[in-house]
Structure 1
Amino acid sequence: MWIDILPDLLRGSTSTFCLLILLPILSRNKLKPLITWTLMPMIILVDVVICAQLYMTRNYTGVLYYSLAFYVVFIVGLKMLLKDTYLQWLFNSVTVLNTYAIIVIASFYLCYLFPQPAYANTAIRLVLFALAIVFFKKILRPLYLEVSENWGAFLLPTSGILVGYLYILTALDDVESSMNQHSGYFYLLILITLLTYSAILLSLKSLRGKFLLREENIRRQANEWLLKSEIASYESTVIAAKQTRHDIRHHNAIIAEYLNSEDLKGALDYLALYESNLQEQPIKNYSKHPTTNAVFRLFERRARQKGIKFSIQAEADHYYHSDGADVGIMLSNLLENALSACQACHSIEKIIVYRSTLQNGSLLVEIENSFEGNLEFENGLPKTTKPGGGTGLKSVVRMVENYPGMITIQQSINRVIVQMIFPIETPQQNA
């Protein structure tokens, strides 16, 4: 008897196993992976034992109703273990159930194209679920985690599709014979499902682009504010220094008067009072370019606080001829990446080196920083593992190309080196 229902058991357990893997992919799970993998065999075992009783009587309609009830209860219970909002959780659950319906229906029709349809059905489901898992993890999950709005709009059409599947499946007396007799309805519903999710995917990509642009603008404005503050601080320091030099003449005259009167004690007391009121305002000039000098002051202070050595050799920064804000944003993004890379180092010296020199009539800028590990490159740029990451570097590349200039990024032993080359005279200047 068990041999007779073996294909059914394989098919059912495979579907349950893949569904349990698929459900948490789009969510922020609170459970540790070890707990998840411990609970999964127990859930599958209970499911197999219950379904086996139905398979023995070939009651596939009963299996359908049981599976629906089981998955609904499981999904509702799963909400307590997730960090998602209710709308995200509902969209995730509906999407997984729609995916499950497509795979079950598609495997039912495709299995007859192969020998041993009963076992081919299981193999087809396994392949389709594997493709769905890869698609969810690599494409849909990054979009899903970054977009936090409009889930209600996405939920409406997907819920309608799920209702369509449930209505067709439950309205028929015998599931197996009805699927054979009304295949056109199922083909049409699968097509509608694929078209709907394609539209949702395009919408998610569009929203993601808008969110990234908004974040980039916010970061740019914040960096501009920091640079303006640093420049203002630098200018006030210069003004204070000029005032101090101007006031020194008066102090010298007062001291000379004390000495001419042979009042040595009065001169010493005056010097002590002047020294106590004197405020040191050290002026650090790293560059002749005011914006880059502000950037260096800002990041040198950050690097010093984090125990990172920051070496600056800005010999040719005054040849930057782009808008000061663009130069500031460009260098800020690169130095911020360099600081992050240095902070992640544990077994090597943490160092950042900035160099700007003239080379063959062009401005050559190099930023070198410590780095542990191996970078993966895509289209000449390091791949990021952070959701939504890489925006700052893409912004730098766009600014360099608009300069116009060239940028290259390479990795050597324990170092990452960014090189930028800018022409001193641009076509716009020569026109």
Structure 2
Amino acid sequence: MIMFNKVMAVLYIILYIAPFSVIRYYPFLDKLRLPIKNVITIYASFLTLEAGLFVYIIGKVSINSIELQIYRISWVVIFAVYSFSVIKERFFKQFFFYLITKIYASMVCGTANFIEANFFLDFTLKHPYTVNNAAIIIQIIFTFPIVFHLILRYFKKFADSVETDIWKVIWLIPFMFYGIGVIFTVDLSTASNWKYIAARYMACIGAFTVCYILLRSLKQLGDNAYLQEQLDFIDQQLTTQRKQYRALTENIEETRKARHDLRHHFLLVRSYLEEDKRAELIGYMEEQRQTLPVDVEETICENIAVNVLACYYIGLAKERHIRTDFKISIARDIGILDSDLSIIFGNCLENSLEACERMKSEDAVIRIRAGMKMGDLIIVIGNSFDGRTMFNNGEFRSIKRNGRRGIGITSILAVAKKYGGVPSFEIIDGNFFKVSMVLMTK
């Protein structure tokens, strides 16, 4: 019987922490600082030590319920610190998921305490933790799959699309619900009161509902912003195409006029040569050269969307005396939507042009290298700049938006993520900015 009670005590410690740790760690398996085997080994060592000491304390040491509660809370803190140490993610984002997990755990354990105190008190006095363990196991069987699916399918999906700075505020929502639950149920002597279990259920259901609605709304706002960005660039693409077609039409008309007047030019040149008027001939030829339109390449690459944007920005760069060095080899259909290519090239080229315009030096250049390699699209876009940058929380921020993440940068990150890429932003030699990414084609 004594051995049975010891086994129940060990099982109680395991059930009190282990099932909920799965929810705590699983959303961040790709963000662990250590190999998962090492994380599990260290975690199991802590759990074994806690269970062993717990069995020793309740069997050999005279300890009251408050001191026992302090012991359990101390281990909760140890496991919390350990989880925050081995997961490489922003603190407040981790804290949000940690609080969600704690709220769910408090509901399960609170229900077990309520059942034990109201219906099996006499049995519990003889076999401590047995009823509590059974109640936790039954609840885990029925509720864990639902909560696990909710957190993985919705919370994590929504959370990954949320702007990072918002996590400094969002964590307050589960924190307040958890705090309310703790304040009203911290005294385990009231576990038999219906208010005890009501407070825990209301805190859990309220926190999950509010957080779900909030994260879903934030994701929807992000999706709307992304769609609006796509529409803006589609409009920009149409505008640049109109300009290209207008320029083409004008060039055709100029060619027709030139062909019509070509006979007269030949006659005039011939007369200058026959009369040996070399200076007049040179002046006339220079005058005619200056009337020619700006030389902008008509074909940079086969992809229509990228070609239109490249030609458009080459023309703008030439008007502003900015050198361009474009080497782009992208076919018409590579498995990436033209609208997505427009977002990447349009945003990068627009930012590059603005950065070069801010330079006082005339040695400004925009350079592009883009092409296919082993089935993936490699894009490297660089430009000169004046050395002023905004860097916050490990990310480059927009100077135009007072240090906040620019809409263009956000769109580039979203499109790159869609194709399995992560853009790299670098500064070379203090005055050259480079964006590079590898996109997997479909």
1:91 aligns with 2:96: yes
- Deviation per residue, 1:150-175 (Å, 9 max, x gap): 656654453333234434554345xx
Which residue of 204, 208, 211 maps to 2:222? 211
- Deviation per residue, 1:212-270 (Å, 9 max, x gap): 11221123213322331232133223313321331233333232455587799x9xx99
Equivalent runs, 1:24-423 vs 2, <5 Å: 24-25=25-26, 29-34=31-36, 35-56=38-59, 62-76=67-81, 78-82=83-87, 84-109=89-114, 117=131, 120-127=134-141, 128-148=143-163, 151=167, 154-172=170-188, 178-179=190-191, 181-258=192-269, 297=308, 309-310=331-332, 332-333=338-339
Which residue in 2 is equivalent to 1:361?
none
Q: Which runs of 5+ in 1 are unaligned?
A: 285-291, 313-330, 338-342, 349-386, 393-414, 417-431
Write the distance in 2 (CA, Å) between the matches of 1:347 and 1:229. Answer: 29
Residue type of the alignment partner of 1:91: F
> Closer, same or farther in 2 for the Cα pair 1:102/1:172, shift >3 Å?
closer
Residue type of the alignment partner of 1:233: Q
Q: Secondary structure in 1 aligned to 2:31?
A: coil
Following TM superposition, by how much is the alpha carbon of 1:184 offset from its aligned partner in structure 2, in angstroms? 3.5
Write the distance in 1 (CA, Å) between the matches of 2:232 and 2:212. Answer: 30
Write the distance in 2 (CA, Å) between the matches of 1:217 and 1:165. Answer: 41
Following TM superposition, by how much is the alpha carbon of 1:334 offset from its aligned partner in structure 2, in angstroms? 8.2
- Deviation per residue, 1:124-170 (Å, 9 max, x gap): 25423443222211121112232346656654453333234434554
Write the distance in 1 (CA, Å) between the matches of 2:310 and 2:94. Answer: 42
> Closer, same or farther in 2 for the Cα pair 1:63/1:228, shift >3 Å?
farther
> Closer, same or farther in 2 for the Cα pair 1:222/1:66, shift >3 Å?
farther
Q: Secondary structure in 2 aligned to 1:4?
A: helix
1:5 aligns with 2:19: no
- Deviation per residue, 1:1-28 (Å, 9 max, x gap): 4432212312321332223222234568
Following TM superposition, by how much is the alpha carbon of 1:336 offset from its aligned partner in structure 2, in angstroms? 7.6
> Closer, same or farther in 2 for the Cα pair 1:38/1:345, shift >3 Å?
farther
- Deviation per residue, 1:50-85 (Å, 9 max, x gap): 322245369765453223222234334544555554
Following TM superposition, by how much is the alpha carbon of 1:41 offset from its aligned partner in structure 2, in angstroms? 2.1
Write the distance in 1 (CA, Å) between the matches of 2:138 and 2:329. Answer: 56
Provide TM-score, normalisation by structure 1: 0.57
Write the distance in 1 (CA, Å) between the matches of 2:309 and 2:106. Answer: 56
Write the distance in 2 (CA, Å) between the matches of 1:14 and 1:93. Answer: 17
Conserved 8 A contact 1:212-1:388:
no
Write the distance in 2 (CA, Å) between the matches of 1:165 and 1:213. Answer: 36
Q: Secondary structure in 2 aligned to 1:31?
A: coil
Write the distance in 2 (CA, Å) between the matches of 1:81 and 1:143. Answer: 23
> Closer, same or farther in 2 for the Cα pair 1:2/1:333, shift >3 Å?
farther
Write the distance in 2 (CA, Å) between the matches of 1:119 and 1:193. Answer: 20
Q: Secondary structure in 1 aligned to 2:332?
A: strand
Provide TM-score, normalisation by structure 2: 0.55
Which residue in 1 is equivalent to 2:18?
17
Q: Secondary structure in 1 aligned to 2:4?
A: coil
Residue type of the alignment partner of 1:243: E
> Closer, same or farther in 2 for the Cα pair 1:347/1:227, shift >3 Å?
closer
Conserved 8 A contact 1:54-1:62:
no
Residue type of the alignment partner of 1:185: Y
Following TM superposition, by how much is the alpha carbon of 1:101 offset from its aligned partner in structure 2, in angstroms? 0.5
Which residue in 2 is equivalent to 1:359?
none
Write the distance in 1 (CA, Å) between the matches of 2:13 and 2:146. Answer: 18
Q: Please, which moves more after superposition, 131-140 or 50-59?
A: 50-59
Aligned residue-pair number: 323
Residue type of the alignment partner of 1:20: S
Q: Please, which moves more after superposition, 51-60 or 182-191?
A: 51-60
Conserved 8 A contact 2:158-2:216:
yes
Following TM superposition, by how much is the alpha carbon of 1:194 offset from its aligned partner in structure 2, in angstroms? 0.8
Residue type of the alignment partner of 2:48: L
Q: Secondary structure in 2 aligned to 1:120?
A: helix
Following TM superposition, by how much is the alpha carbon of 1:91 offset from its aligned partner in structure 2, in angstroms? 2.8
